[in-house]
Structure 1
């Protein structure tokens, strides 16, 4: 497969997430064991390095990780199978027929890799359990191929984007916060906005929250209370009056 010739490879491990059933995946360097960043393509290595690392069971890796970069696009369908596909999966499987498609790590999802450009400005539909991405993401390779062994198909942009328009949700423009880098608006779904705000490290907001409650209260209760205070502070939790 042509992707094996590119320096876009690493290993992945899984770890549990508090309060969630789904495991979190982290990409690691097979040499150092350091976490690989999707924003730093130069950190990633060759397919042979990653494969040898996996075969030697280094860092307790679960499999190979592939950094997604243009001109390649990954279609990620969750909670669907070939035998019992969702409506979105049916359309996308028809669209990408003949390209590399595999089952996900859980066995309850599908990944397809194509050459094609997503020009819609959209990348997900949570209700359809669908994501489409072309950069700054990696996905866990299983090699459990169901179609297109060793083949990456090119999909015409008009054909590809016509299907994307039907399924992907428009992204919500978000006004940059104070101190953010300039460069225009960023686009996130409502869910992503809430998740991003609530996941910020509590320590970054000590000064803000110290104006609302006493310092000693924060020091004692910051682990339990502060995430909720942060969400309340930014209007993400509604209170009754």
Structure 2
């Protein structure tokens, strides 16, 4: 059931004043229902592209016209707001709320509304988040590159305005996130499930924001491929899992192997589904954790902004070219994305021939890399299937497996 639309009377004025609004529609992806942002101009909206946002009134009119199921507010680096998403903590029929969620609502004491599903809450405060993780399963905090589906279903006895709660955010972050590295993992029924992502690979990381990663990946040589995956397009892959692996591999490069950032970005992409948080392995790891771990382990080279700037300067000093482009948005392996040193010089026939050869080589390299990623994702999918079968056998599963077998070369009948 689609929730009722909010009105100006039910939302804080400070949010209504900003052109940070989008529509949203329900979509089914991978068998799971999700909510995707849509632009009033048609097509999808993006939480990292302000051009696709609009005013509250225009977004509301768009939804009332039937083109969207509801409206949403986008969080960005240009605003002081933080969204707190409390999930699966409220009984829709009775309104009964789990203790941990009630504690957070009381502690933040800011504008709070019931989520579209009726099983959770959305809180909006002014403030900033400490560095580190931002999701523990049923609790998520975010301040940019995400959007809230807004209902206007205000929770009684909570403020109707957005309050400044930086200190309270710091306390909650310390209680629910920083303790992940010191606790043994034992949880009680009144706390959200803690989900962590780890990797045994020593990765460099970098200082790129989520918006920077999306922008640079979109403008890289394989930008079209990234954009398709980012929007949730799996048509180039045999399974959704292979598409997950392909997107995570690209994100692993651009984030410097930052597993928390990869997780955060995947959740904001069109590929995200409930399976991401499901436990699929004997060691308690979720499908998402293992996918990220494998993508990072399979990445041998990571983006280093400082090193790339040095390489651009070196190439520019050696090359006489009229080429233009956005070198800072390309991967270090793109031989055609060099910033020109003198745009007034004329390319010689030899330069032109060299450039064409480079383009041909680049195209061939991209094809090889894409094929390698596809095969890598396919192999990981088969390995996962094998582990699931082995786990089933170990658990004494008596299901007839006579028609199923496994090999690196595909399924076969015995």
Contact 1:88 1:167 in 2 (8 A): no
Partner of 1:56: 65
Partner of 1:110: 121
Question: Higher Cα Rg: structure 1 or 2?
Answer: 2
CA–CA distance in 2 between the matches of 1:131 and 1:3? 20
Partner of 1:65: 72
CA–CA distance in 2 between the matches of 1:173 and 1:41? 33
Q: How far 1:92 moved relative to its partner?
A: 0.8
Partner of 1:6: 18
What pairs with 1:218-237 in structure 2 (closer than 5 Å)?
A: 229-231=379-381
Partner of 1:152: 162
Q: How far 1:37 moved relative to its partner?
A: 1.1
Contact 1:123 1:132 in 2 (8 A): yes
- More strand per residue: 1
RMSD, aligned CA = 3.3
- More helix per residue: 2
Instruction: Count residues in correspondence.
Output: 211
DSSP-derived class of the 2:155 partner = strand
Unpaired stretches in structure 1, ≥5 consecutive residues:
199-203, 211-225
DSSP-derived class of the 2:48 partner = coil
1:208/1:56 CA distance change after superposition, 3 Å: closer
Unpaired stretches in structure 2, ≥5 consecutive residues:
1-12, 182-195, 206-248, 264-284, 296-368, 391-414
Partner of 1:38: 47
Partner of 2:100: 88
Which of 27, 40, 45 aligns to 2:37? It is: 27
Contact 1:194 1:236 in 2 (8 A): no
TM-score, reference length from structure 1: 0.73
Deviations 1:38-62 (A, max 9, x none): 12123211111111112222x2x11
What pairs with 1:134-213 in structure 2 (closer than 5 Å)?
A: 134-147=143-156, 148=158, 150-155=160-165, 157-168=166-177, 169=180, 172=197, 175=203, 184-188=256-260, 191=286, 192-194=288-290, 206-208=371-373
CA–CA distance in 2 between the matches of 1:153 and 1:15? 33
